[in-house]
Amino acid sequence: MRHSLKLKITLFLSFSIFLLIFLCWIANDVFLPSFYQKSKVSSLSDVYRDLDKTIGDDDLWQNEELAEKIERIENLSNVNIYIFSSRHTMDERLYFVYPLSFALSESDDKLSFFSIDRYERIINTLQRYIFGMQRNDETAPETLKTTDSYDVYKMHDGRVEADYIDLVGYLSNGDLIFTRTNFSNIEESASISNRFLAISGCILAVLASILMYIFSLSIVNPLMELSEISSEMSNLNFERKYNRKRKDEIGLLGNSINTLSGKLETSISELKAANIELEKDIAKKTEIDEMRREFLSNLSHELKTPIALIQGYAEGLAENVNDDEESRQFYCDVIVDEALKMNNMVKKLLSLNEIEFGNSKLDLSRFDIVDLVKSVVNSVQVLTKQKEASLVFNVIDPVYVWADEYRIEEVVTNYISNALNHVDGPKIIDISFKESDDRIRVSIFNSGKNIPEEDIDHIWDKFYKIDKARTREYGGSGIGLSIVKAIMEAHNEGYGAVNHSSGVEFWFELKKD
């Protein structure tokens, strides 16, 4: 959390506030007195100009209204004003000093002790300013400003331990003016101001830090949400979206991420689809290549024996190995028989190739499946008698289906031929039908040996033979069941083989009309 953005924002702004408060405190302590001093000097200069303009050539001592104006200037400027008129003699000094001359009305034409003491101190101060200070006088005032009409001084009064800023000069009418303002309280005011600033500043800084922390949450939380969304996007999860309604930069960023998420989702979906298609194409190509290699290998193996027999017996005939007619006829029969086997194998392979690669389209029609099976059974009666087998055919009412009649006849023929080639024991071949709501299952059972469980899934593969010697004996090529598989998968219907205790059952299903 020490790298948290909200913590950094809060600490940075809190530090900035504390630094600002500290700088204000330093400014108050260092620069406020000098600034206040300049302000007081400027204020006294303004008082001088106001008094010079207000009094003019009027006689202050006979104009009480003018005295009220001067008193108003005193109160507004927070200064004490004393004016000495040069138009009166020294014997009349109790009447020419403003504001002392207006105190007579309060005590029987006599000044109070306070007024006399105040008058004496003012006179002493003026004498020091007018006639100059003694050498090495540690209490000598500091000159702050000098003009043709007045001078401004900063003076420390050791009697009351106070600092004053005094203005001494002459008005335009020749009257002597002396104004004084207290300067000592500025240091106390600055100290009070600093303490108040420190206390209030700390309180405000704490409150501001809390408010800044809360405000930082409105910035950090959306950013954290956007970070989580981008993390989900990196894991290819584009379901989560930014749903906050903001019009600032964070809102624009959220909208951009939503747009980016949508485009990435679309692009990745298209890429996945293209990748799946590519994988299918590669798998199909690999399968075709494997089928081609397997086909050529099996075909060469299957054709090798009949070709060798044909070649051997043909050479025997050519060289007149046997002179008798019966032997030559035997040689010819072998050659013809092996040639017929090769011819049947090639035809079956061509038929299988057409079905597997979709070159032969299904010719769907409505026909009676029971009648079709009956027709195939009738065509194999001779073979059944030769095998001395019993063929049981449970005839039922007509059942109409939609399929390619020629291809389904090929399936039935292959199943019955396979049963005749493998029938054994009691030599029973049983053909039965089983109906359901929308389908009919045709089953062809032959008694005899079971198919090994490890081979039952492979009997549908091209050229696969369980007992190669026996297959060779009856002229099997291992292609018949492969043709059944291809035809039934082209119809998108089920097929299979099941072992029973007394034999094997082969079956296929079709949809009823």
**Domain assignment present for 430:** yes
**Domain assignment present for 41:** yes
Whole-prediction pTM: 0.42
pLDDT tier, 471 (very low <50, low <70, confident <90, very high otherwise): very low
**Domain assignment present for 265:** no
Q: Which amino acid is at 364?
A: L
Highest mean pLDDT among 30-44, 129-143, 205-219, 370-384 belongs to 370-384
Mean pLDDT lowest among 38-47, 73-82, 163-172, 193-202:
193-202
* Residue 23: predicted pLDDT: 78
* Residue 284: predicted pLDDT: 82
Percent composition of the chain: helix, strand, coil (DSSP 3-state, to 5): 60, 15, 25
Q: Greatest CA span in the chain, whole angstroms?
A: 192
**Domain assignment present for 297:** no
pLDDT tier, 429 (very low <50, low <70, confident <90, very high otherwise): very high
pLDDT tier, 370 (very low <50, low <70, confident <90, very high otherwise): very high
Strand ranges, E, within 88-221 = 97-98, 142-146, 150-157, 162-170, 176-182
Mean pLDDT lowest among 106-110, 309-313, 423-427:
106-110
pLDDT tier, 346 (very low <50, low <70, confident <90, very high otherwise): confident
**Domain assignment present for 235:** no
Per-residue model confidence as pLDDT tens digits over 485-502? 888 888 899 999 999 988
* Residue 469: predicted pLDDT: 46
* Residue 21: predicted pLDDT: 75
Per-residue model confidence as pLDDT tens digits over 430-459? 999 998 888 999 999 999 889 888 888 888
Tell me the β-bridge partners of 428: 390
**Domain assignment present for 113:** yes
Residue 502 and residue 424: Cα distance in Å, rounded? 10
* Residue 91: predicted pLDDT: 42
Report CA 378 to chain centroid distance, whole Å: 73
Query: Higher model confidence: residue 439 or residue 200?
Result: 439
Total number of domains in the chain: 2
Per-residue model confidence as pLDDT tens digits over 229-254? 777 777 777 677 776 777 777 777 77
Q: Is the dihedral of CA 210, 213, 218, 224 positive or negative?
A: negative
**Domain assignment present for 64:** yes
H and E: helices and strands count for the chain: 13, 13
**Domain assignment present for 385:** yes
Query: Higher model confidence: residue 6 or residue 504?
Result: 504
Buried b (16+ CB within 10 A) or exposed e, 251-288: eeebeebbeebeeeeeeeeeeeeeeeeeeeeeeeeeee
Query: Higher model confidence: residue 112 or residue 7?
Result: 7
Residue 48 and residue 505: Cα distance in Å, rounded? 133
Per-residue model confidence as pLDDT tens digits over 74-112? 888 888 888 877 554 444 433 345 554 444 444 444 444
- Full DSSP string of 234-245: HTT---------
User: Are 44 and 152 spatial neighbours (Cβ–Cβ below 8 Å)?
Assistant: yes
- SS3 state of residue 495: strand
Residue 438 and residue 461: Cα distance in Å, rounded? 30
Domain boundary among 183, 218, 253: 183
Query: Higher model confidence: residue 172 or residue 469?
Result: 172
- SS3 state of residue 110: coil
Residues 6+ apart with CB under 8 A from 103: 111, 112, 115
Query: Higher model confidence: residue 180 or residue 473?
Result: 180
Q: What is the mean pLDDT of residues 330-350?
A: 75
The radius of gyration computed from the CA coordinates of the chain, to the nearest angstrom, equals: 63
Whichever domain contains 437, its CATH number is 3.30.565.10
pLDDT at 25 over 80: no
Residues 6+ apart with CB under 8 A from 113: none
Domain boundary among 135, 156, 183: 183
Q: What is the mean pLDDT of residues 283-294?
A: 77
pLDDT at 299 over 50: yes
Q: In what order do the strands lie in the sheet with 428-435?
A: 390-393, 428-435, 439-447, 503-511, 495-499
Q: What is the mean pLDDT of residues 303-325?
A: 73
Q: What is the mean pLDDT of residues 289-305?
A: 67
* Residue 461: predicted pLDDT: 80
The pair phi, psi for residue 150, each rounded to 5°, is: -160, 165
- SS3 state of residue 462: coil
Domain limits at 100? 31-183
Both tokens assigned to 93:
């000094």
* Residue 121: predicted pLDDT: 75
Dihedral in degrees, nearest 10, Cα atoms 500, 506, 510, 512: -50
Domain boundary among 134, 167, 183: 183
